[in-house]
Amino acid sequence: MKDMTEVTPVYLDNNATTRVWPEVVEAMLPYFSEQFGNASSIHAFGAEVGGALRQARRSLQELIGAEFDHEIIFTSGGTESNNTAIRSALQVQPGRNEVITSAVEHPAILSLVDWLEKHEDVVVHRIGVDKLGRLDIDAYREKLSDKTAVVSFMWANNETGTIFPVDGLAELAHQHGALFHCDAVQAVGKVPIDVKSTDIDMMSMSSHKLHGPKGLGALYLKKGTRFRPLQRGGHQERGRRGGTENAPAIVGLGKAAEMARASMAEDIKRMTALRDKLETGLVASVGHCFVTGDPLDRLPNTSTIAFEYIEGEAILLKLNQAGIAASSGSACTSGSLEPSHVLRAMDIPFTAAHGAIRFSLSRETTEEEIDRVLAVVPEIIAGLRVMSPFWSADGASPENFDPAYA
Amino acid sequence: MWEYTDTVKDHFFNPRNAGAMNDANAVGEVGSLSCGDALKLMLKVNPETEIIEDAKFQTFGCGSAIASSSALTELVIGKTIDEARKLTNQDIAEFLGGLPPEKMHCSVMGQEALTAAVAAYKGEELDEDDHEEGALICKCFGVDAGMIERAIRNNKLTTLEMVTFYTKAGGGCNSCREPLEELLADTNKAMVAEGLIKAEEAFIFGSAPAPKKEKTVKGFVIPDTPVAAPTGPAQPSAPVQIAMPAAPAAAPAAVAVAPAPAPAPAAAPATGLSPAKEAILVARLIEEMRPTFKRDGGDVELFDIEGNIVMVHLTGACSGCQLATQTLGGIQKIISEALGRPVRVIPVAKT
Ligand SMILES: Cc1ncc(COP(=O)(O)O)c(C=O)c1O
Ligand code: FES
């Protein structure tokens, strides 16, 4: 957006996408115009490509604690990984036509299962969450059966950061002979993952959420898991995903994975402290707002705060004018008329869901930046509330407003 | 994010007349917290002159909702109540230099609040609430699910093409085709259940014919020779296209070069009507279509018929916009079907 003022902008929308680290760009560069060959070719133009891809695969393997490097299949992103995993799981288990997932997944799962339900005779169970965004595990147990082909739960929620106990959820799925898929797009690189010690069969990742390039992702496929490719073609990725590898991007993701792993422990500590400072500061200075998600188990970088009686897009525009980039699950920003499906599944009242703002930090976020946010937000919120029909000089007054229709 | 005009941005960042008004004598409130849009419009009307001397608003909503409210107050101040009630949402959008299609509902909300305020002032009852919207389906033309469903139901539409003709949805980039197909299939299914249409008429998801890729000969230039009407079973309806149905497949190469005589030119009109009778029929068909155009603020009139060419006047919202092409395609198809031979509809300027 253009409205940036002269001050250095503060980027707090890292769950949407992240800045590609300069080291990552540097690692990628040789693979555009020097080592541009096809990894499958014999000649020298691609001589180093194969080795670089192997190295990148190993870096990602280490980041997620996979047992073998061939358990990683590179794809075009989290969305493709999700589509591949769910469709494959349905195909390899004839006789099982049910999918269990949660009501708060990313659209890369939800619109897919909507489609499958409507047009491909798949039965879908969407498990709800409580007010803190925690999965209703009893409801999940109830839906598991010998008809379940695949269970898909996300590791961490992109809007609230709430973490699901995927390890235990995967064990439950296996008790019923179902495959378990995990959308870990928001978790990889932010929290420690050791996938080999879990029952997870398939796991989706996306490069651009951890300072790698966009348009690249990966699907972890536990050794021995039956699989059908989504995209057929050449023998790349051992025939599991045809198409010439995006070598520069893969090299970049490898570098990003290495870097994320190297500093993860400190990053978590620092981001958590900054996030907590942001939350306590805003809740104290603004009033009529609250932090959403599970306070005990969520991502260190994500904070979604619901400001009551005002609308999210208006807040974002004002923030943008002040040089602060955040995001909102509000209806108006997304072009739909409904507020975020995640906040609605959490039963957050409409008065607040429309005004929810997500601040998502990265390891680059500094204390000065958080201070800037703390300095400008109270005024922005107050200014918009003065304009709100649900607000009067004495504070919140939703009863003052009695429209001709609702 | 949204492409807002500078005027929209200005009215959002520096809203005019925001805040409460304690001595208002006409107040209109619309929307609700749950829809994410709410507007309270307060007017101070001089009881003698009926002139709106001051206006204030309070809005819960996105950037364009606040800008629309601000624009609304600017538009009504100084007007009489009767002048003000003539304002439409288009006036608000125009004042702001346009709004993204997804955001047009913000201007509608402004108009509705004004209507409510005027009604309150006059002590009138408000009409039934017809404020219903659905997800925005077609971005090219800003058409939402509610409107499409109403059009399908009211007109018993069962093809994608007719949905486009009645609502414009799908007439642009066509990227809304999948949701349109779904909506049409779902609505038809419900209509079958309600006994409104027969099961075999209903549109089945995925059954729409693939768009026919006809070779358009040099833009709109179409051979003037009469072309044989398609023989055999009735053609499946294809998406509206401005191109004339091509000559029979036997001579496609020739068509591209020059109006080669069709292998078996059908000299007599397929319906066997005299030219005068044809003209009467065409005139009637166009008369029947007029209400549809008038709903959109446009109009269509028959001007002349010459062989295969039907000349019409297009006015108002229809002329000049992207829609003209679309509209003509629709008229052309209906006339061609009625006459049993392909005709070409072209717009001519009114002299
Ligand atoms: C939880 C989750 N899953 C999937 C995706 C989609 O990933 P990609 O953009 O790589 O397709 C995202 C990104 O927005 C996400 O947050
Ligand atoms: S979105 Fe409907 S035609 Fe473009």
Q: Which residue has the tokens 């591949």?
A: A84
Q: Is the CB of B27 under 6 A from ligand 2?
A: no
Phi-psi label, residue B307: left if phi above 0, alpha if psi -120 to 50, beta otherwise: left
Tens of pLDDT along B11-68? 999 999 999 899 999 999 887 666 667 899 999 999 999 999 999 999 998 899 999 9
Does B164 lie in the same domain as B89? no
Please indicate whether residue A92 or residue A34 has the higher confidence score (pLDDT).
A92
- Report chain B's C-alpha Rg in angstroms: 25
Q: Rounded to a whole number, what is the distance in Å from the CA of A343 to chain B's nearest CA?
A: 13
Q: Which residues of B are catalytic?
A: 35, 106
Give the range among A16-30, A73-87, B128-142, B195-209 with minimum mean pLDDT. Answer: B128-142
3-class SS of residue A334: helix
Please indicate whether residue A208 or residue B308 has the higher confidence score (pLDDT).
A208
Identify the pLDDT of residue A218. 98
Domain tally for chain B?
A: 3
Q: Using CB atoms, which residue from B29, B58, B63 is nearest to A314?
A: B63
- A184 with A167: CB under 8 angstroms? no
A103 is written with which tokens? 């009501």
Residue B243 within a domain: no
Mean pLDDT, chain A, whole residue set: 92
* Residue among B147, B174, B180, B240 whose CB has most ligand 2 atoms within 8 A, to mutate: B174
Does B166 lie in the same domain as B109? no
Residue B313 within a domain: yes
Cα separation values, A85 from A90, A238, A350, B64, Å: 9, 16, 34, 40
Distance, in Å, from the CA atom of A351 to the CA atom of A405, rounded to the nearest integer, reads 17
Tens of pLDDT along A116-172? 999 999 999 999 999 999 999 999 999 999 999 999 999 999 999 999 999 999 999
Q: Using CB atoms, which residue from A309, A331, A335 is nearest to B60?
A: A309
Identify the pLDDT of residue B241. 36
Whole-number Å distance, alpha carbon A78 to ligand 1 midpoint, is 5
CATH code for position B64: 3.90.1010.10
Residue B131 within a domain: no
Distance, in Å, from the CA atom of B52 to the CA atom of B43, rounded to the nearest integer, reads 7
Residue B215 within a domain: no
Domain that holds residue B103: 6-122
Whole-number Å distance, alpha carbon A206 to ligand 1 midpoint, is 7
Identify the pLDDT of residue B132. 53
Cα separation values, A243 from A35, A217, A219, Å: 18, 14, 15
Please indicate whether residue B300 or residue A189 has the higher confidence score (pLDDT).
A189
Does B26 lie in the same domain as B118? yes
Distance, in Å, from the CA atom of B273 to the CA atom of B293, rounded to the nearest integer, reads 28
Candidates B46, B31, B25; CA nearest to B117 is B25
Does B163 lie in the same domain as B91? no
How many CB atoms are closer than 10 A to CB A74? 27
Residue B268 within a domain: yes
Residue nearest to atom 16 of ligand 1 (CA): A158
Do you know the residue count of chain B? 351
CA A184 to chain centre: 7
The CATH architecture annotation of domain A22-260 reads: 3-Layer(aba) Sandwich (3.40)
- A162 with A132: CB under 8 angstroms? yes
Neighbouring residues of B274: CB distance < 8 A, sequence distance ≥ 6: none
A263 is written with which tokens? 């500093």
Does B107 lie in the same domain as B147? no
* Burial (Cβ within 10 Å: 0-12, 13-18, ≥19) of residue A51: exposed
Q: Rounded to a whole number, what is the distance in Å from the CA of A327 to chain B's nearest CA?
A: 10
3-class SS of residue B27: strand
Q: ∠A373-A374-A376 over CA atoms, to 5°?
A: 65
| Whole-structure pTM value | 0.76
Instruction: Give me the sign of the Cα torsion angle B319, B171, B212, B236.
Output: negative
Tens of pLDDT along B181-233? 999 999 999 999 999 999 999 999 887 666 555 544 444 444 444 444 444 44
pLDDT at A230 over 50: yes
* Cα dihedral B260→B262→B265→B269 (10° resolution): -90
Domain end, chosen from B184, B201, B218, is at B201
Q: Using CB atoms, which residue from B59, B102, B129 is nearest to A389?
A: B59
Does B168 lie in the same domain as B64? no
Phi, psi of B306 (to 5 degrees): -135, 105
pLDDT at B248 over 60: no
The residues spanned by each domain of chain A are 4-19+264-397, 22-260
Q: ∠B6-A369-A254 over CA atoms, to 5°?
A: 100
Q: Which CATH class is domain A4-19+264-397?
A: alpha beta
Parallel, antiparallel or unpaired: strands A302-307 and A356-360: antiparallel
Most confident of A176-185, B18-27, B275-284: A176-185
Neighbouring residues of A272: CB distance < 8 A, sequence distance ≥ 6: A300
CA A107 to chain centre: 10
Average pLDDT (A45-74) is 94
Q: Which residues of B touch A311 (CB under 8 A)?
A: 36-37, 60-62, 65
Identify the pLDDT of residue A398. 66
CATH code for position B341: 3.30.300.130
Distance, in Å, from the CA atom of B225 to the CA atom of A316, rounded to the nearest integer, reads 61
Does B76 lie in the same domain as B17? yes
